[in-house]
Structure 1
């Protein structure tokens, strides 16, 4: 069911040999450009027509009435409500500890630099729909933005024909639990465009965050600069680094859980143990046939983005998973904590047999909006820092400026920018070193 790649005995860079989902975001940009321009010029009218075209619903407006949000919470299954409330509580604990404090550095007598951390003013939070419903993404986007102190939050999620053109009621209920009362029934690239340019009752946002399909990623790429973005999310992925001590049933269950997201989801096992690989194959055959979304999962596991990678040993395996830079990385080896401490590239690391990715998706307290497609080698997941900007405040008196005036002039003349130096000498004359 899942292919094998044998890297045993190899010493080079494995990145080009590893399974990876193939997505052409640049090609998608050309297709979303007219959608984005339509929203830019026609606003809500465009959003209504696009909802009928892409979502099969005819709307009269895109803003969800507050009474519908409240009603969704009233009718929410009590067990789901309890789970969401606990998810929110744990996420707040983790993200509250990420808050930054302003720092003032005394560079010289009379001269200080303060770094102020200022939240983004307004953020658009995108919550995908489609094959699954993601109230957990409401939590993961909203909590860090709130903990950062963002003053204005709006959520967009695709309209659902089944629910009269509203977003899924569980998504609306999650918004209610978090105190978000500005919600729009808008999906895909048009949601990103709505936040970037404003439309109707939706004011422009400074940033848009949240996962989505290739059309959302393409709109983010196209509009980056017009609006801030968190990342271009690609297909979800899991890598499992495991040795012969790992439980093959656990490994198979986790590979399947990630494949459940989408036919292009990536599930990768990295192991030095052919015995474990064989046992996982057997477990996959048994478990996939018995699970609800077996067709979707089979396509994901048999696709070019998934596979078992054989390595020489755990040391070699660490080099491979660092090269892969997975969105989610599970460590199931003899000494998982020590091994996890050596990982450099991953969106999130899950340590040992009792920390599956599913825990992180919902209730670990960590964030599940994470870098994909190898971007974990240079990017981080969503956090409080995503919604903060560091502003340097420079405060020098005349004596402090005079002390370095000569250095400023020397550097300005070295760069052939004499007016830079003159801006200093106009204040203090040609003094200093």
Structure 2
């Protein structure tokens, strides 16, 4: 069901030897380009036709009426409402602490640089649809944007034929709980284009965030620069670093939980215990046929993106998981906290037996929009900082400028940009009525 990769006795960079989901965003660019161009040129008319083509339904309007949001919330299952409420509260607690204070640095007498953190003016947030509804993705996008102080935000999610061209009612209910009333029944690449160019009631956004399929990732790549993006999210992935103390049932259950997302989802176990590997294989053989989406899970676990990786030692395992740079990394070892502290590259780290990725997906308080495909070695997950821009405010008086002028001139001359130095000297040659004393 799941392959083994034996890295014992090897050294050097293991990245080319590790299982990885294959995504060819570049090849999808030419497919999404005419879609995005159509939205740019024809706006709402294009969105309606694309919904009919890709989602099998033509919405009455792209914007979801407020009464539909209220109705979805009123009809939401009590237990789901309570769970969403708890998820929102915990996410707010974590993301509120990510806010950045303004800092002023006195560089020299009369010269300061202040760093201000300014929120993005308007963001478009994408909540995927398709095989499943993702109200949790609404929470993970909206909460950090709100806590950052974004003044205008809108959510897009694919229209569903089952619900008369509206997004899934649980997605709408989550929007209502979060007091988001600008919601659009638009999915896929066309949603990214709508936010990038504007269409109908939907004004242009400064940034688009949120996970999605290959076509959403391709549209983000294509339109980056026209609109800001968070990341090109690829197939979800879990890596588990485990030793002989790990519970094989827990390990197997967590590998299955990520494989449940999609047939191209990646589930990887890294261990120096052949015995654990054998026990996990046995647990997978027992559990997979019993899970609801067993066919999808079987395909994901059997794909080249998943596997059990055997290593020489825990130290070797740490090297391997850092090279893999997983979206989600679980550490199930003796002294798991100290081992987790040694990990450098991961979107999020889950420590010990009682911190499964599923907790982070919904109610840990952490964000589940995370870097995939190895990009965790250079990128972070969605946070308040995603929606903030650091702006430096430079405030020097005449004497502070005079003190450093000769250094500015020297560097300007070294770069053969003498007018830069002249711009400084012009202020010092003659004292104007507005100059500082």
State the TM-score, normalizing by the size of structure 1: 0.99
Offset at 1:59? Answer: 2.1
Offset at 1:386? Answer: 0.3
Aligned mates of 1:94, 1:410 — CA distance in 2: 47
Give 5+ residue unaligned stretches, structure 2: 432-437
Aligned mates of 2:91, 2:144 — CA distance in 1: 8
Aligned mates of 2:373, 2:430 — CA distance in 1: 54
Three-state SS of the structure 2 residue aligned to 1:369 is coil
Aligned mates of 1:350, 1:407 — CA distance in 2: 49
| Mapping 1:2-401, distance limit 5 Å | 2-401=2-401
* 1:311-351 Cα deviation digits (max 9, x unpaired): 01110000000000000000000110000000000000000
Offset at 1:127? Answer: 0.2
Three-state SS of the structure 2 residue aligned to 1:13 is coil
Aligned mates of 1:238, 1:430 — CA distance in 2: 65
Q: Residue 405 of structure 1 contacts residue 430 of structure 1 at CA under 8 Å; is this kept in 2?
A: no
Offset at 1:430? Answer: 10
- Residues 430 and 275 (structure 1 numbering): CA distance in 2 closer, same or farther, change over 3 Å? farther
| Mapping 1:407-426, distance limit 5 Å | 407-426=407-426
Aligned mates of 2:369, 2:252 — CA distance in 1: 23
Aligned mates of 1:244, 1:430 — CA distance in 2: 77
* 1:35-68 Cα deviation digits (max 9, x unpaired): 0000000000000000000000022310000000
Q: Residue 135 of structure 1 contacts residue 171 of structure 1 at CA under 8 Å; is this kept in 2?
A: yes
Aligned mates of 1:376, 1:30 — CA distance in 2: 27
Aligned mates of 1:17, 1:133 — CA distance in 2: 34
Offset at 1:429? Answer: 2.8
- Cα RMSD (Å) of the superposition? 0.9
Offset at 1:406? Answer: 1.2
Q: Residue 60 of structure 2 contacts residue 165 of structure 2 at CA under 8 Å; is this kept in 1?
A: no
Offset at 1:405? Answer: 1.2
Q: Residue 346 of structure 1 contacts residue 376 of structure 1 at CA under 8 Å; is this kept in 2?
A: yes
Which deviates the most, 54-63 or 68-77? 54-63
Counterpart in 1 of 2:435? none
Q: Residue 230 of structure 2 contacts residue 386 of structure 2 at CA under 8 Å; is this kept in 1?
A: yes
Aligned mates of 1:203, 1:148 — CA distance in 2: 20
Aligned mates of 2:343, 2:414 — CA distance in 1: 43
Three-state SS of the structure 1 residue aligned to 2:349 is strand
Aligned mates of 1:14, 1:317 — CA distance in 2: 11
Runs of 4+ in 1 over 3 A off after TM superposition: none
Give 5+ residue unaligned stretches, structure 1: none
Q: Residue 59 of structure 2 contacts residue 166 of structure 2 at CA under 8 Å; is this kept in 1?
A: no
Offset at 1:15? Answer: 0.1
* 1:349-377 Cα deviation digits (max 9, x unpaired): 00000000000000000000000000000
Q: Residue 323 of structure 1 contacts residue 345 of structure 1 at CA under 8 Å; is this kept in 2?
A: yes
* 1:133-152 Cα deviation digits (max 9, x unpaired): 10000000000000000000
Three-state SS of the structure 2 residue aligned to 1:371 is coil
Aligned mates of 1:125, 1:353 — CA distance in 2: 33
